[in-house]
Amino acid sequence: MEDLKLYDAEYRLLEIVWEKEPLSSTELYKECLPRLGWKKSTTYTVLRKLVERKILKNENGAVTALVKKETVQRYESQAVVEKWFDHSLPGFVAAFLGEKKLSRKEAEELKQLIDTYQEDGEDMR
């Protein structure tokens, strides 16, 4: 599943599926109507496209996700870092933070994440 790039409408529908799955296409439409303001045809069109791309499954009356939310978030995040920050994660983090100062707790959580994902054999200190 190389291309997980999603349009905003696709992601919004996926959020509902991730939250409520499994659900029928009718239940999905009933969720999309108040939350997204979509007509039945819009809901079914977006659903069909996501099924064709093998991101969702609509089988035996049940709509379920074939791709986890975390997988989509990781893909989209990596795409931003690659496209806009020349593959530089530190550049992305610096731009993301801007002038914002981190709390001690946030800084400690980030340090723990870095330690968890650091490649073996590299000393970062």
Average pLDDT score, the chain: 91
**pLDDT tens column, 3-38:** 788 999 999 999 999 999 999 999 999 999 999 999
pLDDT score recorded for residue 60: 92
pLDDT of residue 3: 79
For residue 2, name the pLDDT band (cuts at 50, 70, 90).
low
Position of tokens 């049940």? Answer: 62
Question: Which amino acid does the sequence have at 115?
Answer: D
- DSSP notation for 78-99: HHHHHHHSTT-HHHHHHHHHTT
Average confidence (pLDDT) over 70-98: 90
State how far the Cα of 45 lies from the Cα of 53, in Å rounded to an integer: 13
What domains are defined for the chain? Answer: 8-69 (1.10.10.10)
For residue 23, the cross-strand partners are 63
